[in-house]
Amino acid sequence: MTTNDHHPLSGTTVLVTRPAHLAEHFCQLVADAGGRAVSLPAIDIVPTETPYADDAIPAARGDRKFAIFISRNAVDYGKALLSRLPDDTICLAVGSRTAAQLEEAGIDVAFHPDHGFTSEDLLEWPELLVLDDADVFIFCGEGGRSHLADELTARGANVTRLEVYRRCKPEIAIAELEEKLVEAHPDVVSVTSVETLRNFLAMTDRLPDFDARALPVIAGSPRIGEAVVEAGFRAEPWIAADPTDDAMFRALLEWRRNETSRQ
């Protein structure tokens, strides 16, 4: 690998495991920095199979109503359901990118954390501290953490989870895997969730001539970094401040500078 000031990722091939519809911006950042981005989605996001029936969304009971969108995927697959909630429902987002996507769809966002992107950050908003009989609709994916719903319930809210999408492992032919991995010779892989990491290993373990655990990993959180270590990757993971494109890209540049300094 070589590098220069204007193209800090020159000579670097980055394997990008984000879902295909969310990978374009990060891949462009890599290309603009002189690197080569190889997209290998290790997780797919699809709508839940059964649309919500009218009686699946309970009638509002309290004086205050909130709709919380967990992610950009929740916006993509859940925004159509907003028309079935009361007109005075207050929309919130976990993270600035999710808030921006809601606003692009013409939906006003009353609050999103200025710093941070987690449920814990959202829960610090004063309007959510006391929720006696308030109605909260959480737009999210199947499964996942229950912390947000549990905490809001403990604060007095009537909580409804609207699971509007699900995650699954992509199906990919051995020949395509070999082309993207064995022939591309990636130098580093970016991973933004533990489930993505597990899928990536399940996919790549099918290839006898590719050793995924030899790759350095740019991890989107300390929790992902711990999973990388537990999975037996030989290089210490490089941890991004958060799994957003910009934070992952900054971590990638830092990793590359560190690698260059060691050469």
CATH number for 13-43+172-262 (one of 3.40.50.300, 3.50.90.10, 3.40.50.10090, 3.40.50.720): it is: 3.40.50.10090
User: Above pLDDT 90, what percent of the chain?
Assistant: 70
The pLDDT confidence band at residue 1, using thresholds 50, 70 and 90, is: very low
**Do 13-43+172-262 and 47-167 come out as alike in CATH topology?**
yes
Residue 201 clears pLDDT 50, i.e. is over it: yes
**142 phi/psi in degrees, rounded to 5:** -65, 140
Q: How many residues does the chain have?
A: 263
Q: Is the dihedral of CA 30, 32, 33, 38 positive or negative?
A: positive
- Confidence (pLDDT) at 229: 98
**Distance between CA atoms of 159 and 156, rounded to whole angstroms?**
9
**Distance between CA atoms of 195 and 188, rounded to whole angstroms?**
18
Where in the chain are the domains? Answer: 13-43+172-262, 47-167
The pLDDT confidence band at residue 263, using thresholds 50, 70 and 90, is: low
Give Dmax (Cα) for the chain. Answer: 64
Helix (H, G, I), strand (E, B) or coil at 155: coil
CATH number for 47-167 (one of 3.40.50.10090, 1.10.3710.10, 3.40.30.10, 3.40.50.1820): it is: 3.40.50.10090
- Confidence (pLDDT) at 58: 74
58-93 burial string, b = 16+ CB within 10 Å, else e? eebeeebbbbbbbbbbbbbbbbebbeebeeebbbbb
**Nearest in space to 206 (alpha carbons), one of 237, 175, 167:** 175
Residue 2 clears pLDDT 70, i.e. is over it: no
**What's the pLDDT tens digit per position in 38-79?**
999 999 999 887 666 555 677 778 789 999 999 999 999 999
